[in-house]
Chain A
Amino acid sequence: MRDRQQRTRHALLTAWTIAVLAFVYIPGVTILLASLTSSRYFTFPISRWGLDWWSKTFNSLEVRQLLWTSVSIALVVTVVAVSIGFFAALAFARYQWKGRTLFQRLVLLPIFFPQSVLGLALLLWFNAVGVDLSWKTAAFAHLVWIIPVVTLVISIQVYSFDPALEEAAFDLGASRWQVFREVTLPVLFPGIFSGSLFAFLLSWGNFPLSLFTTGADSTVPEYLYAKMVAGYTPGVPVLGTVSTFGAALLLLGGYALILFIRRRREAADG
């Protein structure tokens, strides 16, 4: 009796989850469809399919500039966020020290903070200090939010890390640098890797922080927003699709890479 109830319940849960997943992907699919029409305005069902707007968008110098700005910001953010976040994660999850609880709350605060307000606060701050706004200030702004996120992501890996491994290496006569390179880093690598993915992708897609801090430079999300508010142009779905599929590919590729490395390591161990 309980078995059958359970089966019904599981079927319902599965159906619900698929429905939610569909809900999550509706806009992405819509954007893809809209980018494949050759008419000036989007109407559904699509009467004339075509890739005209794709070539138009990619031949535009402005768009190339945007993509370049977005990628530069995301790369800088990734490198800095992972370097700082790695050590922050050790302080967050590994070491027992006085002030750790307070530190954990401090790190979480920027995450639990309205981003548009943070963007404005940084705008005022840059103005007060006398820094000119450019893509570099935007990268700084992204970091305020992304370093804590990366710290959390790496921390989850650090929690499952057994400090005895490091101590064993020390006992066997390894130097501090050797221990770091041969033990700590490889064990924490999956966390660092997902941390980098998060950093890159969150920066790539960020809008509220960029809006107030890029100055004359512009990122892809900002450009899209400006175009959207101004009215319809088919370049928006094209760039949106590129942005979506780029993110998906990077994420799935990264995940496949982790699986691959894990398999190989297991094969080497066994």
Chain B
Amino acid sequence: MTKAKGNPGFRSALPIVLFLLVGFAAPLIGVIMYSFMPPRTFSILQSPTIENYTTLFEGTSYISFLWSLGLAVVTVALLALVCYPVAYGLVRVFGRWSTLLTLLFTIPLFVSENIRLYGWVLFLIKNGVLLGSLQSLFGIEMDSILFTLGSIVLGMVYVYLPFMLFPMTLGVAMVPNDTRDAAYDLGASRWQVFKEVELPLSMPGIMIGSLLTFVLAVGAIAEAKVLGGQRIIPITHDIEIAFTYSQNWPLGAALSVLLMLVVGALVLTVLRRFDLDAILGRR
């Protein structure tokens, strides 16, 4: 603690560090400890066992794992394609409209995702807004895409859009105009400028956005339930079931640990490669 004297950085960091130790690090250690307890017990003071992990590796939960990872990858890829033109426009094209547009993209972020997903249900359902309009205006009858894989992907792309868009916008803003102009002056084509200048220089923002979206999408729980009609069981659902219906906390903890390992390894690898000051500090 003597170090704290005359070190304003350390002193300012202290409250949040203490809070995260109690509120983040300790619970995670707790989960790890629970995952080594005998199945269907509720205390962390028993002799450790690896039974939960052997159960998992012999069981079928890897299917849920693959679904979760697969859905997350698809979501990230689609969002990158959807968001890049918008981010580019916000930074380079829309000028003073950008602030208003950014604000409009921000608002839904603050509405509980359940409500927004439910909006999609009412939009897509038979006799809902989409099919009801089609029928009454054009007399077209169609099957609802609700409760299919497509509607789950739609819901995930929808919910995580801002998390891709905003880091991406920061990334695109990192490309200096001079560099682009220089590339044009040297005779680069539009496509070359994009491939050789814009994409590599905005990569930090794109990567951060992808990482954030991926992590959130792997942890998604409501989309598959609300829009997918439980057709697909993601890993988070398995975890929830272990904790609630089957009252098997240690098994749920073991599943959580596996998920944490995948996510943690990915986050640490990607974050290590970027200078956060450069991404956030630009103004």
Q: Is there an interface contact between A44 and B132, defined as CB atoms closer than 8 Å?
A: yes
User: Is B259 in the interface zone, CB < 8 Å from A?
Assistant: yes
Distance of A178 Cα from B113 Cα, bound (Å): 43
User: Is B47 in the interface zone, CB < 8 Å from A?
Assistant: no
Distance of A247 Cα from B108 Cα, bound (Å): 8
User: Is A229 in the interface zone, CB < 8 Å from B?
Assistant: yes
Q: Is there an interface contact between B89 and A17, defined as CB atoms closer than 8 Å?
A: yes
- Give A21-58 as 1s and 0s: 1 = Cβ < 8 Å from B's Cβ atoms: 10111111111011000000011110000000000000
**Given A20-B82, A97-B7, are A116 and B236 also a contact pair (CB < 8 Å)?**
yes
User: Is B186 in the interface zone, CB < 8 Å from A?
Assistant: no
Distance of A165 Cα from B88 Cα, bound (Å): 34
Q: Is there an interface contact between A224 and B15, defined as CB atoms closer than 8 Å?
A: no
Q: CB-CB < 8 A to A29: which residues of B?
A: 119
Contact of B212 among A112, A201, A255 (CB under 8 A): A112
Q: Is there an interface contact between A91 and B219, defined as CB atoms closer than 8 Å?
A: no
Within 8 A of A (CB), among B256-277: 256, 259-260, 263, 267-268, 271-272, 276-277
Distance of A27 Cα from B225 Cα, bound (Å): 17
Distance of A42 Cα from B124 Cα, bound (Å): 12
Contact of A224 among B31, B82, B115, B221 (CB under 8 A): B115
**Given A17-B89, A17-B101, A124-B30, are A44 and B127 also a contact pair (CB < 8 Å)?**
yes
Q: CB-CB < 8 A to B188: which residues of A?
A: none
Min Cβ gap B44→A in Å is 6
Q: Is there an interface contact between B239 and A30, defined as CB atoms closer than 8 Å?
A: no
Q: CB-CB < 8 A to B136: which residues of A?
A: 45
Q: Is there an interface contact between B239 and A120, defined as CB atoms closer than 8 Å?
A: yes
- Give A206-249 as 1s and 0s: 1 = Cβ < 8 Å from B's Cβ atoms: 11100010000000110011001100000011011001100110
Min Cβ gap B193→A in Å is 12
User: Is B211 in the interface zone, CB < 8 Å from A?
Assistant: yes
Q: CB-CB < 8 A to B16: which residues of A?
A: 84-85, 87-88, 91, 107, 147-148, 151
User: Is A135 in the interface zone, CB < 8 Å from B?
Assistant: no
**Given A143-B19, A207-B114, A236-B118, are A114 and B82 also a contact pair (CB < 8 Å)?**
no
Interface residues on B, range: 35 or more
Q: Is there an interface contact between B236 and A44, defined as CB atoms closer than 8 Å?
A: no
Q: Is there an interface contact between A114 and B218, defined as CB atoms closer than 8 Å?
A: yes
Q: Is there an interface contact between B271 and A124, defined as CB atoms closer than 8 Å?
A: no
Q: CB-CB < 8 A to A95: which residues of B?
A: 8-9, 12
User: Is B36 in the interface zone, CB < 8 Å from A?
Assistant: no
User: Is B23 in the interface zone, CB < 8 Å from A?
Assistant: yes
Contact of B86 among A20, A44, A104, A228 (CB under 8 A): A20
Q: Is there an interface contact between B259 and A24, defined as CB atoms closer than 8 Å?
A: no
Within 8 A of A (CB), among B97-114: 101, 103-114
- Give B73-91 as 1s and 0s: 1 = Cβ < 8 Å from A's Cβ atoms: 0000000001101101110
Chain A: residues with Cβ within 8 Å of the partner, total of 101
Q: CB-CB < 8 A to A114: which residues of B?
A: 215-216, 218-219, 236, 259-260, 263
- Give B1-40 as 1s and 0s: 1 = Cβ < 8 Å from A's Cβ atoms: 0000001111111011101100110111011001000000
Q: Is there an interface contact between B256 and A121, defined as CB atoms closer than 8 Å?
A: yes
Q: Is there an interface contact between A26 and B110, defined as CB atoms closer than 8 Å?
A: no
Q: CB-CB < 8 A to B129: which residues of A?
A: 30, 33, 44
Distance of A224 Cα from B114 Cα, bound (Å): 7
User: Is B243 in the interface zone, CB < 8 Å from A?
Assistant: yes
The 12 sampled A-B contact pairs (Cβ below 8 Å) are A43-B132, A44-B127, A91-B9, A96-B9, A120-B243, A124-B27, A124-B249, A144-B24, A156-B283, A229-B226, A251-B106, A251-B110
Binding site for B on A (CB under 8 A): 5, 10, 12-14, 16-17, 20-21, 23-31, 33-34, 42-45, 83-85, 87-88, 90-100, 103-118, 120-125, 127-128, 140-141, 143-144, 147-148, 151-152, 155-156, 159-160, 201-202, 204-208, 212, 220-221, 224-225, 228-229, 236-237, 239-240, 243-244, 247-248, 251-252, 255
Binding site for A on B (CB under 8 A): 7-13, 15-17, 19-20, 23-24, 26-28, 30-31, 34, 42, 44, 82-83, 85-86, 88-90, 93-94, 101, 103-123, 127-129, 131-133, 136, 158, 161, 190, 211-212, 215-216, 218-219, 221-222, 225-226, 236, 239-240, 243, 249, 252-253, 256, 259-260, 263, 267-268, 271-272, 276-277, 280-283
Q: A12-B85, A31-B119, A42-B127 are in contact. List 6 more A-B contacts (CB 8 A).
A: A16-B86, A95-B8, A99-B10, A159-B282, A201-B109, A205-B110
Top 7 closest pairs, chain A to chain B, by CB: A114-B219, A27-B119, A97-B9, A44-B132, A95-B9, A201-B110, A91-B13
